[in-house]
Structure 1
Amino acid sequence: MTGSTSSTPADRLDDDDYPAYTMGRAAEMIGATPAFLRALGEAKLIVPLRSAGGHRRYSRYQLRIAARARELVDAGTPIDAACRIIILEDQLEEAQRLNAELRQHNEAGTSATDGA
Protein backbone atom coordinates (compact mmCIF):
# COMPACT_ATOMS: atom_id res chain seq x y z
CA MET A 1 0.00 0.00 0.00
CA THR A 2 1.27 3.45 -0.82
CA GLY A 3 1.62 6.12 1.82
CA SER A 4 3.45 6.24 5.11
CA THR A 5 2.57 4.33 8.24
CA SER A 6 1.95 7.61 10.09
CA SER A 7 -0.66 8.87 7.62
CA THR A 8 -3.76 10.73 8.71
CA PRO A 9 -7.26 9.81 7.54
CA ALA A 10 -7.13 12.77 5.11
CA ASP A 11 -3.95 11.33 3.54
CA ARG A 12 -5.92 8.25 2.54
CA LEU A 13 -7.92 10.35 0.08
CA ASP A 14 -4.85 10.47 -2.18
CA ASP A 15 -4.03 6.76 -1.73
CA ASP A 16 -4.96 4.75 -4.85
CA ASP A 17 -4.77 1.53 -2.84
CA TYR A 18 -6.99 2.57 0.06
CA PRO A 19 -10.23 0.50 -0.02
CA ALA A 20 -12.61 3.45 0.24
CA TYR A 21 -15.56 2.28 -1.84
CA THR A 22 -18.35 -0.12 -0.95
CA MET A 23 -19.49 -2.63 -3.54
CA GLY A 24 -22.61 -0.64 -4.36
CA ARG A 25 -20.73 2.63 -4.79
CA ALA A 26 -17.95 0.93 -6.78
CA ALA A 27 -20.47 -0.68 -9.14
CA GLU A 28 -22.25 2.65 -9.59
CA MET A 29 -18.98 4.45 -10.34
CA ILE A 30 -18.01 2.10 -13.18
CA GLY A 31 -21.55 1.62 -14.45
CA ALA A 32 -21.71 -2.07 -13.61
CA THR A 33 -23.59 -4.32 -11.24
CA PRO A 34 -22.38 -5.78 -7.96
CA ALA A 35 -22.59 -9.19 -9.68
CA PHE A 36 -20.03 -7.97 -12.23
CA LEU A 37 -17.64 -6.99 -9.44
CA ARG A 38 -18.18 -10.35 -7.75
CA ALA A 39 -17.37 -12.08 -11.06
CA LEU A 40 -14.10 -10.14 -11.31
CA GLY A 41 -13.29 -11.28 -7.78
CA GLU A 42 -14.08 -14.89 -8.64
CA ALA A 43 -11.78 -14.59 -11.67
CA LYS A 44 -9.10 -13.20 -9.30
CA LEU A 45 -8.70 -10.06 -11.40
CA ILE A 46 -9.37 -7.88 -8.37
CA VAL A 47 -9.57 -9.08 -4.79
CA PRO A 48 -11.41 -6.55 -2.65
CA LEU A 49 -10.46 -6.03 0.94
CA ARG A 50 -13.08 -6.71 3.58
CA SER A 51 -14.39 -4.28 6.17
CA ALA A 52 -14.62 -5.32 9.81
CA GLY A 53 -18.19 -6.39 9.05
CA GLY A 54 -17.07 -8.53 6.10
CA HIS A 55 -18.27 -6.19 3.34
CA ARG A 56 -16.23 -5.85 0.16
CA ARG A 57 -14.30 -2.59 -0.19
CA TYR A 58 -12.59 -1.41 -3.38
CA SER A 59 -9.73 1.00 -4.05
CA ARG A 60 -9.46 3.49 -6.91
CA TYR A 61 -6.78 1.29 -8.47
CA GLN A 62 -9.14 -1.70 -8.42
CA LEU A 63 -11.92 0.41 -9.90
CA ARG A 64 -9.68 1.39 -12.83
CA ILE A 65 -9.05 -2.30 -13.51
CA ALA A 66 -12.75 -3.10 -13.18
CA ALA A 67 -13.62 -0.24 -15.56
CA ARG A 68 -11.17 -1.65 -18.13
CA ALA A 69 -12.79 -5.09 -17.77
CA ARG A 70 -16.20 -3.52 -18.26
CA GLU A 71 -15.01 -1.83 -21.47
CA LEU A 72 -13.85 -5.17 -22.85
CA VAL A 73 -17.03 -6.98 -21.81
CA ASP A 74 -19.17 -4.20 -23.29
CA ALA A 75 -17.27 -4.68 -26.57
CA GLY A 76 -18.28 -8.35 -26.60
CA THR A 77 -15.33 -10.02 -24.90
CA PRO A 78 -16.30 -12.83 -22.50
CA ILE A 79 -15.52 -11.90 -18.90
CA ASP A 80 -12.90 -14.64 -18.43
CA ALA A 81 -11.11 -13.53 -21.60
CA ALA A 82 -11.33 -9.87 -20.53
CA CYS A 83 -9.69 -10.74 -17.21
CA ARG A 84 -6.91 -12.64 -18.98
CA ILE A 85 -6.34 -9.75 -21.41
CA ILE A 86 -5.99 -7.29 -18.53
CA ILE A 87 -3.58 -9.58 -16.68
CA LEU A 88 -1.47 -9.98 -19.82
CA GLU A 89 -1.52 -6.22 -20.48
CA ASP A 90 -0.28 -5.65 -16.93
CA GLN A 91 2.47 -8.26 -17.31
CA LEU A 92 3.56 -6.73 -20.62
CA GLU A 93 3.68 -3.24 -19.10
CA GLU A 94 5.81 -4.53 -16.21
CA ALA A 95 8.16 -6.38 -18.58
CA GLN A 96 8.56 -3.26 -20.72
CA ARG A 97 9.31 -1.18 -17.62
CA LEU A 98 11.96 -3.66 -16.45
CA ASN A 99 13.44 -3.85 -19.94
CA ALA A 100 13.76 -0.05 -20.08
CA GLU A 101 15.44 -0.01 -16.65
CA LEU A 102 17.91 -2.68 -17.73
CA ARG A 103 18.65 -0.79 -20.94
CA GLN A 104 19.35 2.40 -18.99
CA HIS A 105 21.55 0.48 -16.56
CA ASN A 106 23.51 -1.13 -19.40
CA GLU A 107 23.89 2.16 -21.26
CA ALA A 108 25.15 3.86 -18.11
CA GLY A 109 27.67 1.05 -17.61
CA THR A 110 28.82 1.18 -21.23
CA SER A 111 29.29 4.98 -21.22
CA ALA A 112 31.28 4.75 -17.97
CA THR A 113 33.70 2.23 -19.52
CA ASP A 114 33.97 4.10 -22.82
CA GLY A 115 35.83 6.96 -21.16
CA ALA A 116 38.47 4.66 -19.67
Structure 2
Amino acid sequence: MAPNPGSATDRLDDEHYPAYTMGRAAEMLGATAGFLRSLDEVKLLVPQRSAGGHRRYSRYQLRLAARVRTLVDEGLGLDAACRIVILEDQLEEARRINAELNGRDRAAEPTTP
Protein backbone atom coordinates (compact mmCIF):
# COMPACT_ATOMS: atom_id res chain seq x y z
CA MET A 1 0.00 0.00 0.00
CA ALA A 2 1.49 3.38 -1.05
CA PRO A 3 1.73 6.07 1.63
CA ASN A 4 -0.85 8.87 1.50
CA PRO A 5 0.44 12.32 0.56
CA GLY A 6 1.07 14.16 3.79
CA SER A 7 1.38 10.93 5.74
CA ALA A 8 3.83 10.44 8.58
CA THR A 9 6.17 8.60 6.22
CA ASP A 10 6.24 11.55 3.83
CA ARG A 11 6.93 13.97 6.68
CA LEU A 12 9.87 11.86 7.87
CA ASP A 13 11.47 12.21 4.43
CA ASP A 14 10.67 15.93 4.06
CA GLU A 15 13.72 18.00 5.04
CA HIS A 16 11.50 21.08 5.34
CA TYR A 17 9.01 19.52 7.78
CA PRO A 18 9.26 21.36 11.13
CA ALA A 19 9.83 18.30 13.29
CA TYR A 20 12.17 19.59 16.00
CA THR A 21 11.35 21.65 19.05
CA MET A 22 13.73 24.41 20.06
CA GLY A 23 15.11 22.33 22.92
CA ARG A 24 15.73 19.30 20.73
CA ALA A 25 17.21 21.45 17.95
CA ALA A 26 19.58 23.17 20.39
CA GLU A 27 20.61 19.79 21.82
CA MET A 28 21.30 18.37 18.36
CA LEU A 29 23.43 21.41 17.45
CA GLY A 30 25.24 21.55 20.77
CA ALA A 31 24.00 25.13 21.05
CA THR A 32 21.71 27.09 23.29
CA ALA A 33 18.11 28.09 22.72
CA GLY A 34 19.42 31.67 22.76
CA PHE A 35 21.62 30.91 19.75
CA LEU A 36 18.58 29.66 17.82
CA ARG A 37 16.57 32.73 18.87
CA SER A 38 19.40 34.94 17.59
CA LEU A 39 19.17 33.21 14.18
CA ASP A 40 15.45 33.95 14.21
CA GLU A 41 16.12 37.62 15.12
CA VAL A 42 18.52 38.10 12.17
CA LYS A 43 15.98 36.30 9.94
CA LEU A 44 18.30 33.47 8.91
CA LEU A 45 15.76 31.00 10.21
CA VAL A 46 12.03 31.57 10.36
CA PRO A 47 10.80 28.56 12.30
CA GLN A 48 7.25 27.33 12.06
CA ARG A 49 5.14 27.76 15.17
CA SER A 50 3.14 25.05 16.89
CA ALA A 51 -0.47 25.67 17.90
CA GLY A 52 0.91 26.74 21.28
CA GLY A 53 3.33 29.22 19.67
CA HIS A 54 6.48 27.13 20.19
CA ARG A 55 9.20 27.25 17.54
CA ARG A 56 9.64 24.18 15.34
CA TYR A 57 12.68 23.61 13.12
CA SER A 58 13.25 21.48 10.04
CA ARG A 59 16.33 19.43 9.16
CA TYR A 60 17.13 21.99 6.46
CA GLN A 61 17.06 24.81 9.03
CA LEU A 62 19.21 22.79 11.41
CA ARG A 63 21.83 22.28 8.68
CA LEU A 64 21.97 26.05 8.15
CA ALA A 65 22.19 26.67 11.89
CA ALA A 66 24.98 24.08 12.25
CA ARG A 67 27.00 25.80 9.51
CA VAL A 68 26.52 29.21 11.17
CA ARG A 69 27.58 27.75 14.49
CA THR A 70 30.77 26.36 12.93
CA LEU A 71 31.63 29.75 11.43
CA VAL A 72 30.89 31.59 14.69
CA ASP A 73 33.04 29.07 16.57
CA GLU A 74 35.83 29.86 14.09
CA GLY A 75 35.65 33.52 15.09
CA LEU A 76 33.28 35.14 12.61
CA GLY A 77 30.57 37.47 13.81
CA LEU A 78 26.99 36.24 13.65
CA ASP A 79 25.97 38.63 10.84
CA ALA A 80 28.97 37.64 8.68
CA ALA A 81 28.41 33.94 9.34
CA CYS A 82 24.74 34.23 8.39
CA ARG A 83 25.59 36.09 5.19
CA ILE A 84 28.12 33.43 4.21
CA VAL A 85 25.62 30.65 4.86
CA ILE A 86 22.93 32.43 2.83
CA LEU A 87 25.34 32.88 -0.08
CA GLU A 88 26.50 29.25 0.11
CA ASP A 89 22.89 28.09 0.11
CA GLN A 90 22.01 30.31 -2.87
CA LEU A 91 25.04 29.04 -4.78
CA GLU A 92 24.10 25.41 -4.10
CA GLU A 93 20.55 26.06 -5.32
CA ALA A 94 21.81 27.83 -8.47
CA ARG A 95 24.13 24.90 -9.21
CA ARG A 96 21.25 22.44 -8.75
CA ILE A 97 19.03 24.42 -11.12
CA ASN A 98 21.86 24.76 -13.64
CA ALA A 99 22.52 21.01 -13.59
CA GLU A 100 18.80 20.32 -14.01
CA LEU A 101 18.54 22.71 -16.95
CA ASN A 102 21.68 21.30 -18.57
CA GLY A 103 20.23 17.81 -18.26
CA ARG A 104 17.04 18.93 -19.99
CA ASP A 105 19.05 20.60 -22.77
CA ARG A 106 21.03 17.41 -23.37
CA ALA A 107 17.87 15.32 -23.41
CA ALA A 108 16.30 17.64 -25.99
CA GLU A 109 19.32 17.61 -28.36
CA PRO A 110 18.89 15.43 -31.42
CA THR A 111 21.30 12.54 -31.65
CA THR A 112 23.40 12.17 -34.76
CA PRO A 113 23.68 8.69 -36.26
Q: TM-score range by the shorter chain?
A: 0.7 to 0.9
State the 1:103 CA deviation: 2.5
Write the letter of the residue equivalent to 1:62: Q
Structure 2: runs of 5+ lacking an equivalent:
none
What is the aligned length?
A: 110
User: What is the DSSP-based 3-state SS (H/G/I as helix, E as strand, rest coil) of the residue aligned with 1:94?
Assistant: helix
Which residue does 2:66 correspond to in 1?
A: 67
Write the letter of the residue equivalent to 1:106: D
Q: Distance in 2 between matches of 1:48 and 1:82?
A: 19
Residues 80-91 of structure 1: pairs in structure 2 closer than 5 A? 80-91=79-90
After TM superposition, the runs of 4+ consecutive aligned structure 1 residues lying more than 4 A away are none
Q: What is the root-mean-square deviation in Å for CA atoms of aligned residues?
A: 2.1
User: What is the DSSP-based 3-state SS (H/G/I as helix, E as strand, rest coil) of the residue aligned with 2:56?
Assistant: strand
Which residue does 1:26 correspond to in 2?
A: 25
Which residue does 1:39 correspond to in 2?
A: 38
Q: Distance in 2 between matches of 1:10 and 1:101?
A: 27
- 1:115 is aligned to 2:112: yes
Sequence identity percentage? 67
Structure 1: runs of 5+ lacking an equivalent:
none
TM-score by length of 1: 0.81
TM-score by length of 2: 0.83
Q: Distance in 2 between matches of 1:72 and 1:36?
A: 13
Compare 68-77 and 96-105 and name the one that shifted more.
96-105
Q: Distance in 1 between matches of 2:11 and 2:100?
A: 30
